Amino acid sequence: MASTSMQILAFILALLGVLGATVATLLPNWKVSADVGSNIITAISQMQGLWMDCTWYSTGMFSCTLKYSVLSLPAYLQTARSAMVLSCVLATLGLCLATLGLKCARWGGGQRAKGRAALASGSCFVLAGVLCLVPASWFTNEVITSFLDSNVPESSKFEPGGAVYVAFVSAGLLLAAGLIFCASCPGKRDGAQELTISPADKLLQQQIHQQQLIQQAEYSLQDYV
């Protein structure tokens, strides 16, 4: 069973993962214009995210355009949107359950209830990590494939942006936190350990039981007299 300090570490990792996944979802730099060929002398930088496209002009102006139409977006972008939002929701739910499953917390019920809460929160973190990892990987694959395609003009080539790396790191943090919380759930082995009694404890229990029997006999004798 994981110690209390490991649970606290997992909670901190999960909190950082939730913040990272949320930031990655909102950032507009999932892919940025690549500085290749004639693009090197171009004084305009373009960024594309899940929700908006932004352009940085040579004059210092910065403008963004929201992607209102969902059906016009490619499949990998639609999937990335849905998966990242679900990842943030599940990770937030996992944080709420984790506060109940922490051993150091006084709320959340007994050890069995805390174990179930820890297992539920760990499952939410693992699912959130997978949902964050899949769109980041798919998005990166699409960007690299388009970059290596010779039919795509150099002015339209992009490379993975900072938001993708934030999503990868957040997915790793959520997966690590989820595994720790799942390991902190008491299983059959822990139950067997709780039921196992050492010989010294057995002897002490026998002595206590004998003393109780003697006291009961004395009380019965006194009542009889």
Q: Tell me what pLDDT residue 5 has.
A: 81
Whether residue 55 is contained in a domain is answered as yes
pLDDT score for 109: 67
Distance CA 135, CA 80 (A): 5
Number of domains in the chain: 1
Quote the pLDDT of residue 199: 61
What's the whole-number mean pLDDT along residues 54-83? 84
The CATH number of residue 152's host domain is 1.20.140.150
Average pLDDT estimate for 107-128 = 83
In a domain, 73, yes or no: yes
Question: Is the pLDDT at 154 greater than 90, yes or no?
Answer: no
**Residue 125 sits in which domain range?**
4-188
Task: Calculate mean pLDDT across residues 120-127.
Answer: 93
Indicate if the alpha-carbon torsion angle 216, 218, 219, 223 is positive or negative.
Answer: positive
pLDDT the model gives residue 116: 85
Closest CA to 133 of 179, 183, 86: 86
Would 209 be classed as within a structural domain?
Answer: no
Interval 109-136 mean pLDDT: 88
3-state secondary structure the chain: CCCHHHHHHHHHHHHHHHHHHHHHHHCCCCEEECCCHHHHHCCCEEEECCCEEEEECCCCCEEEEECCCCCCCCHHHHHHHHHHHHHHHHHHHHHHHHHHHCCCCCCCCCHHHHHHHHHHHHHHHHHHHHHHHHHHHHHHHHHHHHHHCCCCCHHHCEEECHHHHHHHHHHHHHHHHHHHHHHCCCCHHHHHHHHCCCHHHHHHHHHHHHHHHHHHHHHHHHHHC
Q: What is the mean pLDDT of the chain?
A: 81
Per-residue pLDDT at 176: 94
Does the pLDDT value for residue 16 go beyond 60? yes
Residue 222 covered by a domain: no
The reported pTM is: 0.74
Does a structural domain hold residue 63? Answer: yes
* Confidence (pLDDT) at 186: 58
Query: Please, are residues 119 and 187 in contact by the beta-carbon 8 Å criterion?
Result: no
pLDDT at 12 (0 to 100): 93
